[in-house]
Chains A and B, each alone.
Chain A
Amino acid sequence: MIRIGVLNLQGDVSEHLEITYKALSKINIDADVIKVKTASDVLKSDGLIISGGESMVIGKLIENNGLRTTIINQNIPIMGTCAGMVLLAAETDYYQPLLGLIDMKVIRNGFGRQKQSFEEEIQILGDNFKGIFIRAPYAEKVGKNVEVLAKLDDKIVAVKQGKYIATAFHPELTEDTKIHEYFIKEVLKCVE
């Protein structure tokens, strides 16, 4: 049985746990979903989700707990949403700790402050999706190995590089399990 971890340092962790359970039951996969706080939790995981929150705070807590190298060396599929997208990036416009797993430069709060936060229909994985963007980042540029999954106007808001997936918006705040299902399938592929 596969085990999916949700990094539990700061942010909307319980929302990711809930929608992951929902996605699993929808595609009829038996899996464990655990909260990840320590290196040993990371080592137990076949896939990892990094929630929304403050990327600076989550980044500092990753460093303080000595999780950074463990997460990178674990070599498992990782999905990051919003703050999680920032943390997966190789580069941002602000000085802060990063995991650097996706070859992209991310602009934090790229659409503005909370007042400018928005909901907008986007196209991803060949379907419509309700994009919830909260002080969201976007990718300003991506490397040639990075697949762009979604754009809003000219801004890149979802990407995939190998087993790493990042979205600038929050699928965990919707009822739509599509993106989590996609991630779970990615985890299954890697376990095989």
Chain B
Amino acid sequence: MLHGTEVLKKGFAKMTKGGVIMDVVNAKQAQVAENAGAVAVMALEKVPADIRISGGVARMADPLKVQEIMEAVSIPVMAKVRIGHFVEAQILESIGVDMVDESEVLTPADEKYHIDKKNFTIPFVCGARNLGEALRRIDEGAAMIRTKGEAGTGNIVEAVRHMRMIMGCIREIQNKTEEELWGISRKIEAPLELVKETAKHGRLPVVNFAAGGVATPADAALMMQLGADGVFVGSGIFKSENPEKFAKAIVDATAHYDNPELLAEVSKNLGKAMPGLEMSDIPESERLQSRGW
């Protein structure tokens, strides 16, 4: 009996396709997410919008809190660790978290290296802004990629930029010759084998979600139409006026992303979305997306 194989890790990520993964900070929110149709929840101490406000070092959540969330729902539970903090990941693996997010939303623990994710039985998801970054994470063992976007802003513009970068680059490399792919591999600093695999299939070798700034059903559908396999929603649900309604509407919008009539229906009468942040109001040094490489 084999555990923790590539097939099992990537397979787990495939099972979340077309779904919405929601940030939650306690068991009650986790139940709201499950009832609304979340495909998984991300257990956190604080949602990114609050991390942004409170400042200081953001770390892995209290394992007891994560366990409370695991006990409250039947869907998979994910949790975040700091970039490079493999001990936080070992701790989460030991309590049985279903997937680890090595996340730029928390304060990085290592300025040089990401976690060697192949050493773990449970799968990892990592953020990326472009194809090179995505393929480096996959080479390290990530079973799933998500755009970084700019977490906690309720502003979709960065997630759109990152998804367009990744999908655009994939489209570009599809018609390249072998020699051209050698050059691209060097240019984007990604392993040649993964560049070739991506070019051949016209998609990332793992599931590719959108994250960072999704605040409305239309945002979720936009990311799906741009080529995302599914959507993470961080602050967008529990910072909105009506979390139950927003959660359900975003689930429906993700499943029916190409149906404008239905999108109109689910977007009606939701109340206020989370307050947004203009990118120009966030100094470069405070942008979470520039963490990791």
Chain A residues packing against B (C-beta within 8 Å): 8-15, 37, 52-54, 56-57, 60-61, 64, 82-83, 94, 108-109, 112-120, 132, 134-135, 170, 173
Cβ-based interface call for B121 (8 A):
yes
**Of A60, A113, A115, A132, which is in contact with the most chain B CB atoms at under 10 Å from its CB?**
A115
Inter-subunit contact B7/A132 (CB<8 Å): yes
Q: Which segment of B16-24, B46-54, B144-152, B276-284 sits at the interface?
A: B16-24
In the assembly, what is the distance between CA of A116 and CA of B7, in Å?
Answer: 14
Which residues does chain B contribute within 8 Å of A54, judged by CB atoms? 15-16, 19, 39-40, 75-76
| CB closest residue in chain A, given B5 | A119
| CB of B233 closer than 8 Å to a CB of A | no
27 contacts between A and B (CB under 8 A): A8-B18, A11-B14, A12-B14, A12-B17, A13-B18, A14-B17, A53-B15, A53-B17, A54-B19, A56-B75, A57-B39, A82-B15, A94-B74, A113-B70, A113-B76, A113-B98, A114-B8, A114-B99, A115-B98, A117-B8, A118-B3, A118-B8, A119-B2, A120-B1, A120-B2, A132-B11, A173-B7
Interface residues of B (CB under 8 A from A): 1-5, 7-8, 11-12, 14-19, 34, 37-40, 70, 74-76, 93, 96, 98-99, 121-123, 251-252, 255-256
Q: Are B1 and A134 in contact (CB under 8 A)?
A: no
- The answer to whether B98 touches A114 (Cβ under 8 A) is yes
> Which 9 pairs of residues, A with B, have the shortest CB-CB distance?
A114-B98, A10-B18, A12-B14, A119-B2, A60-B37, A54-B39, A117-B8, A118-B1, A113-B96
Q: Which residues of B contact A116 (CB under 8 A)?
A: 3
- Closest Cβ of chain B: how far from A120's Cβ, in Å? 5
Task: Assess whether A134 is in contact with B15, with CB atoms less than 8 Å apart.
Answer: yes
Interface contact B93-A115, CB-CB below 8 Å: yes
Query: Which of A8, A14, A53, A82 contacts B19, CB < 8 Å?
Result: A53
